[in-house]
Amino acid sequence: MARRHDPGRRQRIIDAALRVVRDRGLAGLSHRSVAAEADVPLGSTTYHFASLDERMVAALRQANQDFDALLAARDGLLDPHADLAGELAALLGAWLAGERSEVELEYELYLAALRRPALRPVAAEWAQALADRLARRTDPVTARALTALMDGICLQVLLTDAAYDEEYAREVLARVIPAEPPARRAA
């Protein structure tokens, strides 16, 4: 019997893993649940991903790419004349205004790195990519502080079911951004 060529199968499995985690949490993630969700044979999941950690890494990397696309669409983040705090607050507002289950999914995968060491490098990639982008507008220390603050604001909104307050976010983010960027260190 000839093997059926299905170039999109790996991506369908990743998408199915994301749906399973979104709908059932990490506890519901298994080779079987993903195979059923993706409508593929069970063997396909183990062919493309040797372990659940490997599949979770792929799912977290996909979530990182989705957030990076949202970042890339925000031209004001790179505009040296734009209000950086306002741009970041608007970015968080756009992200949190989307499908809440999608944001929760991304954080569930991100926080899974606490117990799954295989996820830590991918979780760190997200924070570093955001800090690198912000360092184009400010110094690296401030960029990391802004990244941590944005993360904290999002977690508080998700954990408390509070409405996102964009003006509050802009105000606290502005407090971290120095009026004059510190002199960049010579390389």
Q: What DSSP letter does each residue of 169-186 carry, written as one string? A: HHHHHHHHS-SSPPPPPP
Which two three-digit tokens encode residue 34? 């993903």
CATH architecture of 7-50: Orthogonal Bundle (1.10)
For the chain, domain boundaries: 7-50, 52-176
User: One digit per residue, pLDDT tens: the chain, 187 residues?
Assistant: 344 667 788 889 988 988 888 888 888 888 899 899 999 988 888 888 888 888 888 888 888 887 888 888 887 888 889 999 999 999 999 989 877 878 888 888 888 888 889 889 988 988 898 999 999 999 999 999 999 999 999 999 999 988 999 999 999 999 999 987 555 544 4
- Are 84 and 177 a contacting pair, CB within 8 Å? yes
pTM given for the model: 0.78
Structure tokens at 121: 């490098």
For domain 52-176, give the CATH superfamily.
Tetracycline Repressor, domain 2 (1.10.357.10)
